[in-house]
A = this chain, B = another copy of it.
Amino acid sequence: MNCERTGAIFCFGELLLRLSTPPGARFSNAAQMAVNVGGAESNVAALLAQLGHDVEMLSVLPTSALGDLCLAELRRHGVGTASVVRAEGRLGLYFFEPNGAGGRIIYDRHDTAFAAEAGGFDWPTLADRARWFHLSGINLALGKVAADAALTAASAMRAAGVPISFDVNHRASLWEGKSEAELAAVRDLATMANVLFASPLDISRLIRMELRAGSADGRRAAAEAAFSHFPNIQHIASTRRMFDNTGLQIGARFDTRATGSETPSARISNVIDRIGSGDAFAGAVIDGILRGCSPEQCATAGLAAAVAKHGMAGDRWIGTRAELESTDPFNTGDIRR
């Protein structure tokens, strides 16, 4: 895995408009919805761009004003938009009803411009100027065009020697009723990837083996099983969330083929918005890998981004490198003056 390439970090995936009810309202009686731009890969892109990397989004946006909104939001975070395709069609939506620490989501992603036109990229040309390629498993659940595009893209990147990070990002509702052949695409991507974001449970689904994740040892075993199954993977990272009667806690783990590192659990003192915390984690870990950080540093930086994201409204971590570096995920309760 060549971390010394020059070029842009490319993130490939769909952008979505998120519409969220206010705290305490239900879908069935909401009078206002907050508007945010989402999409797992774009969340990763935004974090990496804010940390100073040269990042470009590869996506398809409708020609409507809602597409303009997404484009403006990418630019706002410094994500390059030169390769974004505009096409007739719908923008994917999702409705979010937050509910304290949790909530529920209604997806409305049928027949989007992305699902129709995701095949319109010239991957070999893009690979030439790619430093890194990131995508998530959601692409594989959005129909044949998008799934094929994801596999084609990964192959082209792999052929050109571009490191690939793949976030499994399992969403049960997106995968319901999919055929085994379709699910195989997830494994194909994992086979091509160099960095895998996957929990022990994700791994057990990927390699069809039951794994015990109740201890750090069990989690190391899961990582090792994945390493032996997928020959190109160099790094595996994941978060784990726990509820007990003192509330939500989160920990992070980072494995290489040689060793693994796991943080203690950090208490999330005030959940404003959980969505995108996994993407913030992924982005910070990729940044750590690109900068040659140790497993412990990668896990801790990822955890810091994930914890901080819980306190930020919207799908994306917003901040600067200085802020990320000064975030102590285990103590977020000070006022800095």
Residues of A bordering B, CB below 8 Å: 19, 22-35, 64-66, 68-69, 72-73, 75-78, 90-91, 93, 95, 97, 99-108, 110-111, 171-174, 243, 245-249, 267, 269-275, 311-314, 318-320, 331-337
Contact = CB atoms under 8 A, between A and B. Distances in A.
A100 B32 contact: no
A327 to B, nearest CB: 10
10 contacts: A26-B312, A28-B69, A31-B31, A33-B33, A72-B76, A75-B78, A103-B335, A243-B333, A245-B249, A270-B271
Contacts of A68: 27-28, 320
How many copies are assembled?
6
Contacts of A275: 335
Nearest to A27: B65
A312 B30 CA distance: 11
A320 B73 CA distance: 15
Given A26-B318, A246-B246, A318-B29, A97 B65 contact: yes
Contact of A272 (B23, B33, B172, B174): B23
A69 B29 contact: yes
A183 to B, nearest CB: 17
A19 B335 CA distance: 15
A336 B99 CA distance: 11
A25 B313 contact: yes
A335 B274 contact: yes
A157 B223 CA distance: 61
A106 to B, nearest CB: 6
4 smallest beta-carbon distances between A and B, as pairs: A100-B270, A24-B313, A24-B272, A27-B65
